[in-house]
Chains A and B, each alone.
Chain A
Amino acid sequence: MKNRLKVLRAERDWTQAQLADALDVSRQTVNAIETGKFDPSLPLAFRAARLFGLRIEEIFHDEDRAV
């Protein structure tokens, strides 16, 4: 699963640590999601969507399916 987390974070000039605090996870988890090593759960994806004021599908994309 691909995502735009890093771009969205950069647009707001947030560090990984700040985003991690806002999502109530570790910085390592934010890094793993940004680099595609780990896919977040649905609740965490919803939290990210709420935080950025976007829909989940505007942040996360299914790699196997052309949108």
Chain B
Amino acid sequence: MNQTGQLEGGYNSRTRANVIRLFYWNGAWVAATALMAFGPKFLWNKASVFTLLAVGLDLAVGAGMIVANKKYIAELDELQRKVQLDSMGITLGVALIAGVPFSVMDAYHVIPFHADIAYLLILMSLTFAVSSLFGTWRYR
């Protein structure tokens, strides 16, 4: 398809490269977060300097992950970007709607455990995954 194929393979290879880059940044962020969360207790005996360094590293890697995610979304085509935007909107809404009552229930001891932020992160991750799958299925 020489007449039209000057960009042949361009979109797919570009998206693949962006996904791989995002995957590495996500992995680095998870590792930096684990270091920040467990390092004070298991590696440097709660020394504040090292904890601050770990926090700084986590923020820096987190910023890199955000940039990688922004680049990934910016280089998606318009339909894929719409699916992502819809999923992010649903995730934000669910986090807000579920997060506030969850916190209130914790404050008034309606639930027998502490409303840890990890529960909200898990809910957001699952919501985003389901929304993305639904969006992909909808436009298949």
A: which residues have CB within 8 A of B? 14, 18-22, 24-26, 28-29, 31-32, 37-38, 40-41, 44, 51
A-B contact pairs, 13 of them (CB 8 A): A14-B1, A20-B11, A21-B7, A21-B10, A21-B12, A22-B5, A22-B6, A22-B8, A26-B12, A28-B80, A32-B140, A38-B79, A38-B82
Contact A21 B11 (CB under 8 A): yes
Which of A19, A21, A28 contacts B140, CB < 8 Å?
A28
Cβ contact within 8 Å between B77 and A29: yes
CA distance A43 to B140 in the complex (A): 22
How many chain B residues touch the partner (CB < 8 A)?
20
Give the total number of A-B pairs whose CB atoms are below 8 A apart. Answer: 61
- Cα separation A2 to B105 with both chains bound (whole Å): 50
Residue of B nearest to A19 (CB): B4
